[in-house]
Amino acid sequence: MDKLLQAYFRVSRCWNNPSMAVKEKMTVEKALRLLRRIREVALRTSGGAPLAKRANKLTQEIVEKQVDTETMVG
């Protein structure tokens, strides 16, 4: 569970800090893949539901931001 938390917070920090995202090579695809994995494993882990919920919420934020950006550019 500790590794899941670390991965979640790493994605979260990168999402809130673009320069850190570049340094960590955290692309949108990589972030979404990690969050999907965190959600899947957390749901199978005892007491992991809150983390799965947070990962899902962050996933939604990232997806919404991508849709907004593509709409503005396109």
* Ranges of each domain in the chain: 2-73
The alpha-helical segments, DSSP class H, found in 17-48 are 18-24, 28-44
Confidence of residue 65 (pLDDT cuts 50, 70, 90): confident
Angle at 8 between CA 56 and CA 62, to 5 degrees: 50
Mean pLDDT of the chain: 90
Say what the pTM is: 0.84
What is the C-alpha to C-alpha distance for residues 66 and 11, in angstroms, rounded to an integer? 16
